[in-house]
Structure 1
Amino acid sequence: MTQTDDFGFGTQIRKSPYFDATVRWGAQGFSVYNHMYIPRDFGNPEQNFWNLVNEAILCDVAVERQVEITGADAAKFVQMMTPRDLSKMAVGQCKYILITNADGGILNDPILLRLAENHFWISLADSDILLWAQGLAVHSGMDVSICEPDVSPLQLQGPNSGLIMQALFGEEIMDLKYYWHRELELDGIPLIVSRTGWSSELGYELYLRDSSYGDALWERIMAAGMEYGLKPGHTSSIRRIEGGMLSYHADADINTNPFELGFDRLVNLDMEAEFIGKAALKRIKEEGVTRKQIGLIIDCDPLQGPNTTFWPINKGDETIGKVTSAVYSPRLKQNIALAMVSVDHAVLGADVEVVTKSGPTRATMVEFPFYDPKKQIAAA
């Protein structure tokens, strides 16, 4: 019996093809995302942050389960699922999209990959979009096939990730543009490689297309990255909050609409194509939102890890919103947070009270992202 055979809660939570490798390389704790284990602890989260922003980290993100959509009507079907206009999306391109329901609520905020004219992958955040898509297909009248393929992503992120990718694939990989992908092989291992990631840093995702190669792929990347300071790691709450990146179920959920998040650019209400939630989103835009996402600087001692509950935000005797994600940034030397507040109180520079687990404390509303707001690092 190996060290990992008796880990976990039963067979209903799936282990990734990289699970054993991450344990060998020091993973000490896991959480559950899309019904799978995801490494969340390789020791010190602050050191993980510095490894990411100074060198590079390799993360097991096989929890980004794929929904594969093929068939003659695949493009039309995918457009029905999202308010973002996909009419100019090319084969080989990736796009950040929102999936909305009939009320305009956000069900997921995935990355969409177009592998061929009628072949798409939806690389998921944490919700059951495979079931949603299969349900939509039943009565759609469209010629589509929807399944979960044998695909398991890894994220290679950080300023040295490009050097590591060159060591693995050669100089031609440097031609891969931000939010594009290509089909490659590494020592006979079949991959889709994209210039994407959940870190706000330069980075790549390697989509393994045969789970039997999981251990070999992990070890091959780690070996190539050693001279460039590559460390095993986990997605960094510090860096993603610095970058204003959403975490589904925390910063957005089924009751959140795109306009509350300032995602107007991801909604095209003028396109001819009908998508689910179009009428509701038209109404919401006309009437205006009642809540708005803002940034906060929280004035207290450094937070010891991210918040695990939604902290109330008060103005006088009135509760005006909630903190959705908060963390201490060692680079900015501040407690930073994303929050959802009443639009009437969303005033930059205004002081409010946040009720943390240690009690009430002062906070100030600010613009976000807190670092590299134009995403120049990731897109370089």
Structure 2
Amino acid sequence: MGLSSTPLLSAHKKLNAKTTTFAGWLMPLQYGSIIAEHLWTRNSCSLFDTCHMGELIVYGTLKENNLNKILPNDLEKIKVGKCSYSFMLNERGGIIDDLVIYKLEEGKWMLVVNAGTLDKDYRHLKSNIRTSVENISPQMAKLDLQGPLSREVLRKFVGTEIDKLKYYHFDYFSMLGEKIIISRTGYTGELGYELYVNCKRVKEFWNSLLTDERVKPAGLGARDTLRLEMGYPLYGQDITEETTPLEAGLERILDFRKEFVGKQALLKQKQIGISKKLVCFMTHSRRSPRQNYKLYFENQQVGFVTSGSFSPCLSCGIGMGYIKADHAQLGTKVVIKGHATEMQAVITAKPFYKNGSLKK
């Protein structure tokens, strides 16, 4: 499959954005300093181009479509206007993808999935859904407005009804003369919203939002450091088909009272016990751990880094990685080694950053 460009690429070029290849897409990495974009998001409001994300529509009620068996959380609890974090699992309990599911109306669900797994997810659903599945990604564009001032900014465009939108809920709003979906969700740990817009008009929406002086564009670089400060996993690094929700600390998503794909494998893993666990760790310096660096305890390798970066808010290195379960306790001191570098770190609770405006 060839490289795809975001529909906003020309707008990014005008802002002199540095681009990167991400999941087969040419995407903006940064517009200026990643640290500056990160801090602006924490204190004001940033606009992210997330048009690369995939949107799949599943039709039919839960009794008709089999969706409640494909996803491990109880979809019966999701009402119209609500969305929920979830994932698709294989029979081994491995994570095919993580996603957010929206109940648009009775008999109509939208799954927002990762760009790199869109085709795989679509095939998986087509093979298991008893009704119909539609890939609307080519027609749908997505923008993320994130930061403590995001509600005030949106109020100017859609009115005071935005004030009523609760965390992990969505509704339809009129903006620039078009009816769009806005959800109170995001990946930064700040108060934020995701806007689902017709692909043909997304450039107009992008430019209009940036006319507000409180809003600045931010790229994938800041998006990654922001999510890492919150301890949010990234698919393809922190969670994969080779890792299970139990190992990744995501058991809260699983509802073992119902049947779902991978349930028996996960019950067996619960009974035996997990051998590795995803943990967060903080270094004692500004040096950053990097993916695939090794974790050592008393000169023995006990794990590896899946994500790592310098934390702009904490002024030290932070990361996530898998470690042998008997070394996964909070406060455990480890040594991180890689590429002729070595750093001291300690396993810590997530989130690293605790002053976010997420639920305000």
The two structures share one fold, judged by TM-score above 0.5? yes
1:104–1:278 contact (8 Å) kept in structure 2: yes
Aligned partners of 1:256, 1:25: CA distance in 2, in Å? Answer: 39
Report what 2:193 is aligned to. Answer: 204
Instruction: Give the conservation status (yes or no) of the 8 Å contact 1:114–1:120.
Output: yes
* Length-normalised TM-score, structure 1: 0.88
Measured in 1, the distance between the counterparts of 2:128 and 2:335 equals 49
Query: How far has the Cα of 1:265 moved from its partner?
Result: 0.9
Shift of 1:129: 4.2
Closer, same or farther: CA 51–26 of 1 in aligned 2, 3 Å: farther
Shift of 1:270: 1.3
Gaps of 5+ in 2: none
State the one-letter code of the partner of 2:14: R
Alignment of 1:148-297 (within 5 A): 148-149=136-137, 150-208=139-197, 210-223=198-211, 225-226=212-213, 229-235=214-220, 236=222, 237-271=224-258, 274-297=259-282
Residues 286-325 of structure 1, C-alpha deviations (whole Å, 9 max, x = no match): 111111111111234433xx73x31101123421001111
Distance 1:301 1:241 in 2: 15
Rounded to whole Å, the distance in 1 between the matches of 2:66 and 2:4 is: 29
- Unaligned 5+ segments in structure 1 are 1-10
Which of 323, 326, 329 is the matching residue for 1:344? 326
TM-score (normalizing by structure 2): 0.93
Instruction: Name the structure 1 match of 2:96.
Output: 107
Residue 379 of structure 1 aligns to a residue whose secondary structure is: coil
- What CA distance in whole angstroms lies between the structure 1 residues aligned with 2:35 and 2:292? 22
CA contact (8 A) 2:147 2:357 kept: no
Determine what percentage of the aligned residue pairs are the same residue: 26
Q: Quote the Cα distance in structure 1 between the aligned partners of 2:81 and 2:63.
A: 15
Shift in CA distance, 73/266, structure 1 to aligned 2, threshold 3 Å: closer
CA distance in 2, matches of 1:352, 1:171: 49
- Distance change in 2, residues 1:74/1:66 (3 Å): farther
Q: Which amino acid aligns with 1:18?
A: L
Match of 1:302 in 2: 287
* Over 6 Å off, 4+ runs: none
The secondary structure found in structure 1 opposite 2:343 is: strand
Over the aligned positions, Cα root-mean-square deviation in angstroms equals 2.0
Q: CA distance change for structure 1 residues 358 and 47 in 2, over 3 Å: closer, same or farther?
A: farther
Deviation readout 1:27-49 (Å, 9 max, x if unpaired): 1122223x322211212110011
